[in-house]
């Protein structure tokens, strides 16, 4: 083998580098410059994933077919539906390479709006009556309104209902749950729960439910109307906390921290270890493949019938160079056609009534579903105004972190509801006053 001199090695290295550089330059110049002169490029960002990427594909195909002068590009940022997505998204925004239109988790939308990242879209809505906001559930639209301005439109909605395992109920001879009172809910859950003498559960009667549902149902609130004071120390909120604690600590009919350390509520339910729990329509994607019979029903209610609904805010970046093109894309994603294409699997829940009323959606069925609850209850919840969105505050991510940390002590029984409520109020008020 011939010996390679240092000079030859360096020459080779330089030649290879030059060739790679030339190729890269050529590739870059061949990128969309030619089309960019004629067609506005608009990018939509979302966490993405194998299933989600496939669900969006027909949306872009339809949009690009219908809009000769706009090219919609899909950007799967990654990171999942959590803080890592925000990290990746914000890095792009800070670097000036952010998307034109993007999804942001509803708890974070106001934070983005407050920092001037988003464009309020009221003027676009006024100029385009064809957007037909009335067709959206009002609760889902209101979730995007903050300080009297509209900051985005929903790509879907996610009211929560009770999913139940009909096999477990039948075996126990207990009627299926449907809009139970708190007392009935506890009675059923206790009767369904099976734990051994060490507290290990083979069947858990019911999920914990979202803490905020119990607070609202007891007449409590997290923040006052203008978001300047935390009300978690008030008697109504403490009643809600007391009920939440009783399910886990006193009645042991909802999962303890140890139960949840192994499997989250969704996994407990799909593995047949939990009789019922609350989740959005999107849970169909998981429950359709289970071997047991199931359906969705109206969740329990306390003094007030109310539960939470999530939304999928679609917002426009303040930095987008062509706001009209971005608006067209945003409008299409929210439109009946956009949502129908996106939700073609039937799993997610649309924010538009017209889509919910389409035959294919009304008659949707899958797996071992035993009834029509999964097609009717979510609509009933929205139409009757039984759903609320999470409180809107720029500091909500920090506020919810404080609350969730304190709830650990509530669910373990280490602290009383009064202590937890008071501690949450003190810490959240400190955040609000620092702001």
Partner 1 sequence: MVFNAPADCLMHIQNIFQPKRLSFWESLNAWLFVLPWVLGFILFTGGPILASLLISFTNWDIVNPPQWAGFANYEMMFGDPLFFQSLKVTTIYALVAVPLQIIVGLFIALLLNTKIRLIGLYRTLFYLPAVLPIVSVAVMWRWILSRDWGLINWFLSLFGVYGPGWLSEPEWALPALILMSLWGVGAGMLIYLAGLQGIPTDLYEAAKVDGAGPWASFVYVTLPMISPVILFQLVVGLIAAFQVFAQPFIMTEGGPQNATLFYLLHLFRNAFEFFRMGYASALSWVLFMYIAVLTLLIFRFSAAWVFYEGEIRNE
Q: Does 290 bind partner 1 (CB under 8 A)?
A: no
Contact 208, 264 (CB under 8 A): no
Single out the residue of 49, 110, 118 nearest to residue 397, CA to CA: 110
Is the CB of 10 or the CB of 362 nearer to partner 1?
A: 10
Query: Cβ closer to partner 1: 116 or 291?
Result: 116
What stretch of H or E contains 377? helix 373-383
Q: Are the CB atoms for 180 and 253 separated by under 8 Å?
A: no
As a whole number of Å, the CA-based R_g of the chain is 25
6 binds partner 1 (CB under 8 A): yes
Q: How far apart are the first and last CA of the chain?
A: 71
Measured distance CA(108)–CA(98) in Å, rounded: 17
Could you tell me the CA-to-CA distances from 278 to 13, 206, 313 in Å, in that order? 61, 9, 22
Within 9-68, which residues bind partner 1 (CB under 8 A)?
Answer: 10
Rank residues 66 and 250 by Cβ distance to partner 1 and give the closer one. 250
Q: Which of 219, 285, 367, 397 binds partner 1 (CB under 8 A)?
A: 397
115 binds partner 1, rule: CB under 8 A: yes
Out of 354, 368, 398, 426, which residue is the one contacting partner 1 (CB under 8 A)? 398
Q: Which is nearer to partner 1, 18 or 54 (CB)?
A: 18
Query: Which residues inside 71-90 make contact with partner 1, applying CB under 8 A?
Result: 83-84, 86-87, 90
Q: Which two tokens stand for residue 204?
A: 């858990």
**Contact between 328 and partner 1 per CB under 8 A:** no
Question: How near is the Cβ of 408 to partner 1 at its closest, in Å?
Answer: 4
Within 10 angstroms of residue 76's Cβ, the number of other Cβ atoms is: 15
Q: How many CB atoms lie within 10 A of CB 434?
A: 8
Question: Could you tell me the smallest distance in angstroms from the CB atom of residue 184 to partner 1?
Answer: 29
Nearer to partner 1, 165 or 427 (CB): 427
- Strands 307-316 and 153-165 come out as antiparallel
Q: What are phi and psi of 64, to 5 degrees?
A: -70, -30
Stretch that binds partner 1, among 55-63, 109-117, 336-344, 381-389 (CB under 8 A): 109-117
Q: Is 278 in the site for partner 1 (CB under 8 A)?
A: no
Give the chain's count of helices (H) and strands (E).
Answer: 21, 12
Are residues 103 and 46 in contact, defined by beta-carbon separation less than 8 angstroms?
yes
Site stretch for partner 1 (CB under 8 A), options 156-164, 328-336, 346-354, 396-404: 396-404
* Per-residue DSSP letter, 100: S
389 near partner 1 (CB under 8 A)? no
109 binds partner 1 (CB under 8 A): no
- Interface positions, 408-427, toward partner 1 (CB under 8 A): 408-409, 412, 414
Q: Is 405 in the site for partner 1 (CB under 8 A)?
A: yes
Positions touching partner 1 (CB under 8 A) are: 6, 10, 83-84, 86-87, 90-91, 93-94, 111, 115-117, 198, 200-201, 256-262, 395, 397-398, 401, 404-405, 408-409, 412, 414
């Amino acid at each position: 083998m011939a010996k390679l001199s240092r000079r030859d090695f360096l020459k080779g290295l330089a030649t290879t580098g030059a060739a790679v550089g030339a190729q890269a330059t050529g590739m870059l110049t061949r990128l969309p410059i030619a089309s960019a002169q004629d067609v506005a490029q608009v990018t939509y960002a979302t966490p993405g994933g194998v299933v989600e990427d496939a669900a969006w594909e027909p949306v872009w195909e339809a949009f690009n077919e219908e809009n000769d002068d706009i090219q919609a590009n899909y950007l799967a940022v990654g990171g999942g539906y959590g803080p890592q997505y925000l990290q990746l998204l914000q890095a792009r925004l800070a670097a000036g390479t952010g998307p034109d239109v993007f999804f942001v988790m509803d708890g974070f939308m106001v934070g983005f709006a407050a920092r001037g990242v988003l464009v309020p879209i009221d003027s676009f809505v006024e100029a385009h009556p064809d957007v037909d906001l009335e067709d959206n559930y009002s609760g889902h639209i209101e979730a995007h309104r903050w300080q009297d301005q509209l900051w985005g439109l929903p790509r879907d909605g996610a009211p929560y209902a009770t999913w139940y395992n009909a096999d477990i109920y039948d075996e126990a001879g207990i009627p299926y749950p449907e809009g139970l009172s708190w007392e009935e809910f506890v009675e059923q859950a206790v009767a369904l729960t099976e734990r051994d003498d060490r507290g290990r559960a083979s069947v858990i009667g019911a999920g914990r439910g979202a803490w905020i549902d119990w607070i609202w149902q007891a007449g409590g609130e997290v923040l006052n109307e203008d978001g300047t004071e935390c009300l978690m120390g008030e008697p109504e909120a403490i009643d809600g906390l007391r009920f939440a604690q009783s399910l886990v600590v006193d009645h042991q009919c909802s999962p303890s921290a140890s139960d949840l350390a192994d499997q989250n509520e969704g996994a407990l339910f799909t593995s047949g270890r939990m009789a019922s729990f609350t989740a959005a329509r999107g849970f169909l994607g998981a429950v359709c493949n289970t071997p047991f019979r199931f359906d969705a029903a109206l969740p329990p209610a306390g003094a007030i019938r109310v539960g939470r609904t999530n939304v999928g805010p679609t917002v426009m970046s303040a930095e987008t160079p062509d706001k009209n093109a971005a608006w067209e894309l945003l409008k299409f994603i929210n439109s009946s056609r956009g949502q129908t294409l996106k939700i073609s699997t039937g799993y997610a829940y649309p924010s538009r009534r017209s889509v919910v009323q389409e035959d294919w959606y009304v008659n949707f069925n899958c797996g071992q579903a035993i009834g029509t609850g999964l097609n009717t209850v979510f609509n009933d919840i929205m139409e009757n105004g039984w759903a609320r969105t999470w409180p809107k505050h720029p500091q909500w991510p920090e506020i919810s972190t404080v609350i969730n940390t304190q709830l650990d002590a509530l669910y373990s029984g280490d602290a009383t509801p009064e202590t937890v409520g008071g501690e949450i109020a003190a810490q959240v008020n400190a955040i609000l006053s620092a702001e």
